[in-house]
Amino acid sequence: MNWVIKPSPEVPNKLKSVSLNPITLRLLIQRGFFSEEAVRKFLNSRYEDLHSPENLSGIKEVLNRIRKTIEKKESIVIFGDYDADGITSTTLLKETLERLGLCVQTYIPDRNKEGYGLNNKAIDFIKKEYSPKLLFTVDCGISNEEEIKYVRKQGIDVIVIDHHSIPKKLPADCVLINPKLPNQKYPFRDLAGVGVVFKVCQALWKKFIPKEIGQLKWFLDIVAIGTVADCVPLVDENRILAKFGLIVLQKTKRIGIQEIIKTARLNIGDRNPPSAENIAFQIGPRLNAAGRMDHADITLNLLCENDPAKARVAALELESKNSERQKVTQEVYGEVKATLQAGKEYRLIIRKGAHWPLGILGVVAGKIAEEYNCPVFILRDGGQLIEGSGRSIEIFDLIAAVSQIDKNLEKYGGHAQAMGIKVKPRNLAQFEKDLLKIIERDYDKNTWGKRIHIDAELEPSEIDWDIVSEIRKFEPFGEGNREPLLLTKNLIVRELKAVGNGQKHLKFVFGLGGSEKKLLEGIYFKGGERAAEFRVGDEVSVAYNLRSNEWNGNHRIELHILDIKKGYNTHQSTS
């Protein structure tokens, strides 16, 4: 793996008076913080730093329409997406509208039978079953121009709350709320779907129940879950929502989430605050599991449940669905892997299967894309239509590329690194050919090769509790706000052993040269297969995240190793 070391920036004079470790200051400058005020907002961000929802276009129209709904006591249906972002969005908006005294129904489509977004059969069902005067779409809708036209023919008003990329043709005759819309005054474009819904709810609480607006903070647990699970950049507002949402999650009042934490056996409580990693790798996948393997209503009902006994049963069912999801994902992953040549360099991978469940295709595509470092589409061949999910790598904007060749597709949508498509079988080969042409045009081995970006180099003497505590202030970590990756050279391996179930991990003790005064412990997760590469006495360079570890009441600094090399060349390329 290629190591790319970021240049070490100079600290400007106006930041030299800031009482932070020089390494911390350089890390902050790398992230674009060049003033004391910018540094303060990042390290000590406040809930009050959130932007005003009034600057989001469409908000006034929403407030006026809800006033009419309250006055006429009209019924509302919320149409949400089936992933964690969509479900948390649906829950937040439903409970807010109910606080206003409104009658609210929800509809989450079946991923395998209906696919993503509005569809006419669902609209017919909603019309017949609920007879609403107003339909909200959350975390979807911006690409449903034809379907929204059909809704409007039924005499139903529509408000679209979405965050996905703007299509070539927008829905008409409805209210659109999306920070990515053109001519937008709103200063932050990258909110998750639940983040956009939260802005709408802020406006609704302020307008209709201003005396209760302090209670809106208790919804930040599900806002954080949806935000982190949807992998939006954890910067600006997203970081604030995630940061304070994690605080609320630690003492959540939501019984459904309490039961998820219990069934997942997560160590979250008064002394153990949750992390963004807990959401990304444990809570989020469980919320997604129902929609992937069955129906997302299981998750929605659990989040809204107030009865502890019913919540316990639902959480156990969700845990079972997640175990099933893991098993099926591994099976499909194995089938895809069997079609790939070991050691071959791929620039695009597209695979399809007749019986692969739609719900896990994105997960499999993500695993393959990470492993082979190229864009990947994993698709289900339904005979008349092929559909599925694409995942990309950091360097390649997948949806921007696909939008250039969308004549081959029936439908598509998503983000730069994650999207869904539908294509007729006769057009798939041409789609693959055209996409590969775009990739070949942009391909550069130096930038596309698998690599890790190192933020700063530290001497062993610079690794202390002060730098550990200052880096912790960068949390929560995630997309767009990655945990600083550090490099230390000339370490001597003093101890080495394989640990963990199946000896999958490597545990190191490092010393500096001939001195035993400075010993550092390191853990290399999933590094067990490299055990034969290293011996006690080897001089190595280590790329790592800096963590603190507590065991039996003892705190120690620990290196979480991402990669390790013997005799690292100090002249290796930088950028």
CA distance 276 to 246: 8
Residue 175 lies in a domain: yes
Q: What average pLDDT does range 244-250 have in this prediction? A: 97
pLDDT, position 516: 57
Q: Give, for 312, the enclosing helix (H) or strand (E).
A: helix 308-337
For 287, phi then psi, to 5°, come to -65, -35
Residues 358, 233 share a domain: no
E-state strands within 13-161:
75-80, 103-107, 134-138, 157-161
> Residue 409 is encoded by which pair of tokens?
């597709």
Query: The domain that contains 225 carries what CATH number?
Result: 3.90.1640.30
Q: What average pLDDT does range 242-248 have in this prediction? A: 97
Angle of helix 22-30 versus helix 465-472 axis, rounded to 10 = 30
Residues 216, 105 share a domain: yes
Structural contact between residues 140 and 414, judged by C-beta atoms closer than 8 angstroms: no
Residues 394, 370 share a domain: yes
For residue 2, the cross-strand partners are: 451
Residues 458, 444 share a domain: no
Residue 47 lies in a domain: no
Buried b (16+ CB within 10 A) or exposed e, 196-227: bbbbbbbbbbebbeeeeeeebeebbbbbbbbb
Task: Count the Cβ atoms, other than its own, within 10 Å of residue 486.
Answer: 23
Average pLDDT, the chain: 92
Q: Given CA atoms 189, 195, 196, 202 in this order, what sign does their dihedral have?
A: negative
**pLDDT over 80 (residue 351):** yes
Query: The domain that contains 491 carries what CATH number?
Result: 2.40.50.460
Identify the weakest region by mean pLDDT among 179-183, 224-228, 269-273, 503-507.
Answer: 269-273
Structural contact between residues 279 and 229, judged by C-beta atoms closer than 8 angstroms: yes
Residue 365 lies in a domain: yes
pLDDT, position 413: 84
- Among 192, 221, 245, where does a domain finish? 245
Band of residue 514 on the pLDDT scale cut at 50, 70, 90: low
**pLDDT over 50 (residue 572):** no
pLDDT, position 449: 77
Structure-derived torsion over alpha carbons of residues 111, 116, 120, 123, reported in degrees to the nearest 10: 80
Residues 171, 93 share a domain: yes
Structural contact between residues 154 and 127, judged by C-beta atoms closer than 8 angstroms: yes
Task: Kindly report, residue by residue over 190-204, the tens digit of the pLDDT.
Answer: 999 999 999 999 999
Pairing of strands 349-353, 175-177: unpaired
Task: Count the Cβ atoms, other than its own, within 10 Å of residue 574.
Answer: 11
CA distance 146 to 527: 51
Minimal CA–CA distance to 190: which of 448, 426, 491, 416? Answer: 416
pLDDT, position 76: 98
For 535, phi then psi, to 5°, come to -135, 155
**pLDDT over 60 (residue 570):** no
Residues 502, 364 share a domain: no
For residue 6, which amino acid is it? K
Task: Kindly report, residue by residue over 59-86, the tens digit of the pLDDT.
Answer: 999 999 999 999 999 999 999 999 999 9
**pLDDT over 80 (residue 569):** no
Residues 222, 156 share a domain: yes
Query: The domain that contains 442 carries what CATH number?
Result: 3.10.310.30
Residues 428, 469 share a domain: no
Residues 204, 347 share a domain: no
pLDDT, position 17: 83
For residue 481, the cross-strand partners are: 478
Residues 213, 129 share a domain: yes
**pLDDT over 70 (residue 513):** no
pLDDT, position 296: 94
Residue 377 vs residue 343, higher pLDDT: 377
Residue 222 lies in a domain: yes
Q: Give, for 448, the enclosing helix (H) or strand (E).
A: helix 445-448
Band of residue 334 on the pLDDT scale cut at 50, 70, 90: very high
Residue 291 lies in a domain: no
**pLDDT over 60 (residue 356):** yes
Minimal CA–CA distance to 413: which of 214, 180, 187, 248? Answer: 180
> Residue 432 is encoded by which pair of tokens?
């693959």
- Among 406, 424, 448, where does a domain finish? 448
Residue 331 lies in a domain: no
> Residue 394 is encoded by which pair of tokens?
């950091």
- Among 418, 448, 478, where does a domain finish? 448
List all residues 6 or more positions away from 566 whose beta carbon is below 8 Å from its beta carbon: 533, 534, 538, 539, 540
Number of folded domains in the chain?
Answer: 3
Band of residue 245 on the pLDDT scale cut at 50, 70, 90: very high
Confidence (pTM) = 0.89
List all residues 6 or more positions away from 541 whose beta carbon is below 8 Å from its beta carbon: 487, 488, 489, 490, 491, 564, 565, 567, 568
Residues 180, 77 share a domain: yes
> Residue 186 is encoded by which pair of tokens?
């709103």
Residues 429, 463 share a domain: no
CA distances from 398 to 126, 376, 390 (A): 34, 10, 8
Q: What average pLDDT does range 418-439 have in this prediction? A: 95
> Domain of 104?
53-245
Q: What average pLDDT does range 3-19 have in this prediction? A: 87
Q: What average pLDDT does range 524-550 have in this prediction? A: 92
CA distance 421 to 380: 11
Residue 290 lies in a domain: no
Residue 34 lies in a domain: no
pLDDT, position 574: 41
> Residue 172 is encoded by which pair of tokens?
């008409």
Residue 32 vs residue 97, higher pLDDT: 97
**pLDDT over 90 (residue 239):** yes
CA distance 374 to 340: 13
